[in-house]
Amino acid sequence: MDRLDAMRLFTRIVERRSFTEAAHDMDVPRSTVTTVIKQMEERLGVRLLQRTTRTVRPTLDGEAWYRRCLAILDDVEDAEGAFGNAEPKGMLRIDVQGTIARHFLLPGLPDFFARHPGIELSMSERDRWVDPVQEGVDCVLRYGELPASDLAARRVATLERLTCAAPSYLERFGTPATLDELAGHRIVGIRLLSSGALTPVAFQVGGTLRRIELPAPFSVTGPESYLLGVRLGLGLAQVPRFHVEKELESGALVELLADTPPPPAPVSLLYPRSRQLSPRVRVFLDWAAGRFAGHGGPGDPRRGAVK
């Protein structure tokens, strides 16, 4: 293994906090990882990694070497890409919220691979918050407001949301015509994986936001189960319009309180701020942003333009 590949392996170990995971990502034997790091530490004359039975962490020297390796690898990748309009290539790891990805990204992947045949795409699906450095991914696609973090975020769309319910629910509880008529109603609850708290229902009234607490006899953490609970008549729900377009057309769901809709929700691509973007990440970000064009929120004159 040459020195550049050894640097790539070392940075992957730091990010994954695991020799085994780094070996899997780099497609090399676990024994090779141990040998390469031992040789690197001997050559530099310092200890780079602190190993325990559960994890691997960089020492202070390891942190400094990690930053130098990132800078060197970014410079090499940029230098190689600057000659002859080199085609981006290599493994691109992304983590997505599955519903959003299946609707917006996956249908366009044949075109993406036709444009960039040298890129391999590995996609994982999680609804929880993901740290791309710790999880070993290049970028993350997320729906909704973002928690504070050191990640760079590129907003690619603002999705219109609505309040809806199944006809069977409305037959039982009535159809509210105003927010005041929500008394006595219930919701299908969606809980945050990070805290277990219920996401409140909210409505735009003029230029203000009004939150209303409603009981949630049934609550979930996943969007597919959430939508199924609504279809079964277990409560009201607030969802992105794209997710229920077919149900609204067929009458399986009914839009409610259209004059006071919930606030739109952003869709963002996140990536480590400390890193210079590789060509393959850059082309993916631009392509993904284009996939969301035309899906903005109410009042957005650009209707989903990249922000």
Distance (Å, rounded) from C-alpha 12 to C-alpha 23? 9
Q: Name the pLDDT band for 300 (thresholds 50, 70, 90).
A: very low
On the question of a common fold for 90-159+265-291 and 161-256, the answer reads yes
What secondary structure does DSSP assign to 27-65, as a single string?
A: T--HHHHHHHHHHHHHHHTS--EEE-SS-EEE-HHHHHH
The superfamily (CATH) of domain 90-159+265-291 is Periplasmic binding protein-like II (3.40.190.10)
Q: Which of 270, 267, 301 is nearest to 161 (CA)?
A: 267
CATH number for the 3-81 domain, one of 3.40.720.10, 3.40.50.2300, 1.25.40.340, 1.10.10.10? 1.10.10.10
Tens digit of each residue's pLDDT (9 = 90 or more) over 125-158: 876 777 777 777 889 998 888 877 778 889 999 9
Contact call for residues 49 and 40 (beta carbons, < 8 A): no
Q: Give CA–CA dist 260/209, Å, rounded.
A: 9
Nearest by Cα to 48 from 30, 67, 75: 67
pLDDT > 60? residue 303: no
Architecture of domain 161-256: 3-Layer(aba) Sandwich (3.40)
Average pLDDT of the segment spanning 220-247: 93
Closest by Cα among 116, 166, 149 to 282: 116
Radius of gyration of the chain (CA): 24
Residue 302 has pLDDT above 60, yes or no: no
Delimit the domains of the chain by residue range: 3-81, 90-159+265-291, 161-256
269 vs 140: CA distance, rounded Å = 6
pLDDT at 275: 60
pTM over 0.75: no
Query: What sign does the dihedral 11-17-20-24 (CA atoms) show?
Result: negative
The answer, yes or no, to whether residue 80 has pLDDT greater than 80, is: no
| Residue 85: CB atoms within 10 Å | 6
Cα angle for residues 99, 105, 111 (degrees, 5° grid): 155
pLDDT at 226: 92
Position 40: which residue type? M
Question: What is residue 6's predicted lDDT score, i.e. its pLDDT?
Answer: 94
- Mean pLDDT, rounded, for 83-105: 83
Q: With the C-alpha atoms ordered 48, 52, 54, 59, is the resulting torsion angle positive or negative?
A: negative
Q: What is the pLDDT of residue 90?
A: 80
Both structure tokens of 107: 């249908």
CA-CA distance, 118 to 99, in Å (whole number)?
A: 27
Return the DSSP state at 117: T
Nearest Cα to Cα of residue 260 among 176, 203, 195: 203
What's the confidence (pLDDT) of residue 126?
78
Q: Are 234 and 169 in contact (CB under 8 A)?
A: yes
Q: Is the pLDDT of residue 301 over 60?
A: no
Q: Report the percent of the chain where pLDDT is more than 70.
A: 90
What is the token pair recorded at 273?
């701020």
H helices present in the chain, as ranges: 3-16, 19-26, 30-44, 60-81, 98-100, 109-115, 132-135, 167-173, 223-231, 245-250, 279-291
